[in-house]
Amino acid sequence: MLRRKLTWVALILMIFLLGSFMNIELTVQNTHSSVWIWKLLGRLHPLVVHFPIVLLLFAAIFELLGIKKADSPFRHTIHILLATGAISAIISAFLGYILSKDGEYGADILKIHLWTGFATAGIGAASWLLHWMAFQTKQESFILPYRLTLLLLPISIIITGHYGATLTHGKDYLSSAFDLDKTSDPIKPLSFDVTNAKNDTTKLTTTQEVELNVQVRTILAHNCYKCHGPEKVKGDLRLDHIDLIMKGGEHGPVVVPGNAEESELYKRIILPAGHEDIMPAKGKRLSEQEIKIIAFWINKGAVWPRKGQAENVFRVASIVPRNPELPSAPTSFVNPIDKWTNKYLTEKKIIWPKQADDRTFIRRVYLDIIGLLPTPNEIEAFISDKSPTKRDDLIKKLLDRNDDYATHWLSFWNDLLRNDYTGTGYITGGRYNITNWLYTSIKTNKPYTEFVRQLINPTKESKGFIEGIKWRGEINASQRTEMQAAQNVAQVFLGLNLKCASCHNSFISDWKLKDAYAFANIFADSSLEINRCDKPTGQFTRPAMLWKNLGTIDSAATKKVKLEQLSSIMIKPENGRLYRTLVNRIWKQMLGRGLVEPVDQMDNQPWSQDLLDWLSYDFQKNGSDLKRLIYLIASSKTYQSVSVGMKEPNDIFQQDYTFKGILRKRISAEQFADIAGAIIDPIFSDSIMKYKPTFDAGFIPYGGFYARAAFVANNPLLISMGRPNRENVATSRETQATLLQALELTNGSTFNSMLKRGALKWKLKYIQSELIIQQLYNSALGRAPSQKEKEIAKRMLGEIPNEDSIQDLFWAVMLLPEMQIVY
């Protein structure tokens, strides 16, 4: 009796589910939006789908086991298997249907999978029904049909499963395992399939069009322009612009939009290598992937961005300054940055990260503002301080430590401005050092406008930046010093990549070769001849600012006057790009990731446009005061929150990055050397300093030595820890640990001999293990050792330690991630 009841329940459930189907169909079509519950249900499909597979297959197996006897001992089992199998199959099909509406999958295979899925569920249900008729109601005529459907089941499951797996893993998932001779293509993969274009009428989205077009233009530029471009027009054909492509060559059109096979261009590139008519006639045959992309592009109608559509093609950020109105926020958020963060987090439904405790905060803010660690006394005093404004007061105090502040930020600017004591170029007088100007500018907190002006229209002391690096001999036209200046000024101050455009019209932006030369001409005594890919073109252009509406450059003026004009244009309040770029760099320095990433591509989307715009506007309006900006950031709850880790280093560059709090950072090479030097023993002696600043009267250096790492020439220890060679502008440092770094720390002489010297000092000073452990933990990690840590260290040191064991304890603690991460 119970069994019959269950059966009825199941049947009713089926009808109910069918009804729901209709319902969903309506929901989806009416609203065009997905309710999260449907999404969730849909995503359960890959999970649920395994139940019917197993259940139904086992039903078939049990049937086989008892096939000889009409009264199989498994009859009951089979019945249950079929019942649950059929129901779960129907549920799976239902969930699968919802998932298909989610639209993540390609159309053709999806359709097959969907229908075979329904079929499987149907056959399963039929099988169950027939089984019930045959054995429950004892009608023998149903046995054969039942067994036939049961036979069909595994077949249909395999087919359905195959297509389902193809959807998930891709077509080549299995075949690629034995396809050893597969040619791989160095071309970047598109985010969509380029194989089935011909009869596919789906329209590409704008983004896809752009992506495709960039690829096509790159292929054409690198393989065809040489003979079919502005320089050389073989066969009357030029391929560097869509109008010219469409015009065709001496034998007529070469592209038939929508039909690759009819297009001469396509016909010629697919010829076998060595064929008389193959294109490119010189150079290598296009790769299969490149050919596929060309075919796809033609079949899709040979799309090409039109003038005026430019904004749609490459994202271009507005350079106009913007002052968005501060959003309303709970009164606990005083700092404007926090009001923006609060708005952002609220919109994203993200809970505010907790605020970091005092111990964490003081360590972080010391490292970020002056590059040093607080002493144990400073930490304890800060923690016990009861003042409600103590955090703000501390930030101000650190910013007032002018020499420490300047020393720390010197490295940041040295990277950006490619300034170093040693490097290529100096040997033949082809490079100039600007350290004294730079240090003084940072220390006196020169307004950023003035800072930029003096770098672009330099004095003798600051000319090193735009003078670039000159090697002896002949160099590529795109690397002449005037072009270096154009590239570096654009990159550093404007977050703009002119490097492509200084050789040929850029494929990645709308900047043209002519724009780059116009900009470079500002840095030149006389107009430069335009070189395309290092070949002179005989053409010239007038000097001009990149955004011409910001102001004009007098083309007849001397270099000095042109630089004066450019520097005034650059620092205009209207040039919002200058301020956004700077604010973004400082933000990255302190919070671990820029509002825009990469920081040199300021046309990219910031995670909060409002925050970037407001902060840049505020910075410019208030005297372009860098210390004020740093104060504003450091005093925000946004900065003072608990830090977040990153799983993969490239996650930082994801364009759909969501801000969830300040990121953990690795300390820099200079910070590492300075900290170790101060706590244990100076690594570098004052005698090897390459630059000795005039310190403020009464300045007492941390650790008692002056030779902080920013003042010495680059060396194997610092290189291994990530200080770049400054042959090129470097705007981000490599922070991942490497084997070469670990080897340098493990047995490099600079570091280990310092530890040895320090061990002797400490042995005489502290004598007992207990004290040494206590002191080391407090000064290096800013906390007392735990009981467990004390035990471990003590086991190593014994009661009265020797020098070797002290040295080894130093080593172990200095290499702890806790020591080397700004958390």
Partner 1 sequence: MSKMSDRRKFLKTTSAATIAALGASLPLAGFFNSPFNKSNINSSADTVILLWMAGGMAHTETFDPKKFTPYSPGLKSNDVLSTFNRVPTVLDDIYFSEGLESIGSIMDKGTLIRSYVSADMGHILHSRHQYHWHTCYRPPQSVSAPHMGSWIAKELGPKNPVIPAFIDIGQRFTLGESEELKAFHTAGFLGNEFGPFMIPDPTAGLDSVRPPVGMNEMRFEKRNQLYKELMDKGVMGEYGSDYHKESMKRSMEQAYMLLKSPEAAAFDLNKEPKESYDIYNTGKFGLGCLMAKRLTQQGARFITVTTEYEPFKNWDTHENGHTRLTDMKKQIDAPIAQLIKDLEKSGHLDRTLIVLATEFSRDMMVEGRPELKVLEQVKQPDIINDIKFYGMHRHFTDGVSMLMFGGGIKKGSVYGKTADERPCKTIENPIVIDQVHQSIYHALGIHPETKYIIEERPFYTTPDGKGKAVMELFQKS
* Closest distance of CB 495 from partner 1, Å: 10
- Amino acid identity for residue 304 in this structure: W
DSSP letters spanning 565-593? HHHHHHT-TT-HHHHHHHHHHHHHHHHSS
Structure tokens at 569: 């244009």
Q: Is 624 left (phi over 0), alpha (psi -120 to 50) or beta?
A: left
Distance CA 678, CA 685 (A): 12
- Nearer residue to partner 1 within complex by CB, 247 or 733: 733
* Closest distance of CB 669 from partner 1, Å: 11
Task: Please say whether the beta carbons of 816 and 781 come within 8 A.
Answer: yes
* Closest distance of CB 533 from partner 1, Å: 9
- Nearer residue to partner 1 within complex by CB, 568 or 735: 735
DSSP 8-state class, residue 711: G
Distance CA 88, CA 74 (A): 21
- Amino acid identity for residue 249 in this structure: G
Cβ-proximal residues to 692 (8 Å cutoff; 6+ apart), any chain: 706, 711
Residues, the chain:
823
- Nearer residue to partner 1 within complex by CB, 185 or 625: 185
* Closest distance of CB 1 from partner 1, Å: 47
- Nearer residue to partner 1 within complex by CB, 557 or 737: 737
Cβ-proximal residues to 26 (8 Å cutoff; 6+ apart), any chain: none
Structure tokens at 131: 């089984």
Give how far the C-alpha of residue 121 lies from the chain's centroid of Cα atoms, to the nearest Å: 44
- β partners of residue 644: 663
Phi/psi for 665 (5° steps) reads -125, 155
Q: What angle do CA 668, 670, 672 make, to 5 degrees?
A: 70
DSSP 8-state class, residue 780: I
Distance CA 260, CA 295 (A): 5
* Closest distance of CB 700 from partner 1, Å: 31
* Closest distance of CB 326 from partner 1, Å: 29
* Closest distance of CB 258 from partner 1, Å: 20
Task: Please say whether the beta carbons of 519 and 498 come within 8 A.
Answer: yes
- Nearer residue to partner 1 within complex by CB, 153 or 718: 718
Would you call 732 helix, strand, or coil by DSSP? coil
* Closest distance of CB 639 from partner 1, Å: 18
- Nearer residue to partner 1 within complex by CB, 256 or 730: 730
- Amino acid identity for residue 110 in this structure: L
* Closest distance of CB 471 from partner 1, Å: 6
Nearest Cα to Cα of residue 582 among 698, 464, 713, 447: 447
- Nearer residue to partner 1 within complex by CB, 137 or 650: 650
CA atoms within 13 A on the CB side of 758: 27
- Nearer residue to partner 1 within complex by CB, 111 or 171: 111
* Closest distance of CB 797 from partner 1, Å: 10
Residue whose token pair is 């309506």 = 26
* Closest distance of CB 469 from partner 1, Å: 6
Q: Is the dihedral of CA 401, 402, 407, 410 positive or negative?
A: positive
* Closest distance of CB 655 from partner 1, Å: 4
- Nearer residue to partner 1 within complex by CB, 267 or 664: 664
- Nearer residue to partner 1 within complex by CB, 389 or 658: 658
Distance CA 251, CA 234 (A): 12
Type and span of the H or E element at 821: strand 821-822
- Nearer residue to partner 1 within complex by CB, 88 or 741: 741
Distance CA 396, CA 228 (A): 62
Type and span of the H or E element at 417: helix 402-417
- Nearer residue to partner 1 within complex by CB, 256 or 713: 713
* Closest distance of CB 568 from partner 1, Å: 27
> Over 114-161, what HEC string results?
HHHHHHHHHHHHHHHHHHHHHHHCCCHHHHHHHHHHHHHHHHHHHHHH
- Nearer residue to partner 1 within complex by CB, 222 or 690: 222
Type and span of the H or E element at 531: strand 531-532
* Closest distance of CB 611 from partner 1, Å: 20
* Closest distance of CB 344 from partner 1, Å: 19
- Nearer residue to partner 1 within complex by CB, 189 or 324: 189
- Nearer residue to partner 1 within complex by CB, 444 or 654: 654
Task: Please say whether the beta carbons of 710 and 392 come within 8 A.
Answer: no
Nearest Cα to Cα of residue 469 among 515, 417, 504, 513: 417
Phi/psi for 163 (5° steps) reads -70, -35
- Nearer residue to partner 1 within complex by CB, 568 or 750: 750
- Nearer residue to partner 1 within complex by CB, 360 or 555: 360
* Closest distance of CB 143 from partner 1, Å: 45
* CB under 8 A, 24+ apart: contacts of 231-240: 231/532, 231/535, 231/537
* Closest distance of CB 219 from partner 1, Å: 11
- Nearer residue to partner 1 within complex by CB, 14 or 214: 214
* Closest distance of CB 338 from partner 1, Å: 24
Q: Is the dihedral of CA 291, 293, 299, 305 positive or negative?
A: negative
14: buried, middle or exposed (CB in 10 Å: 19+, 13-18, 0-12)? middle
Task: Please say whether the beta carbons of 566 and 522 come within 8 A.
Answer: yes
Distance CA 368, CA 362 (A): 10
Q: Is 551 left (phi over 0), alpha (psi -120 to 50) or beta?
A: left
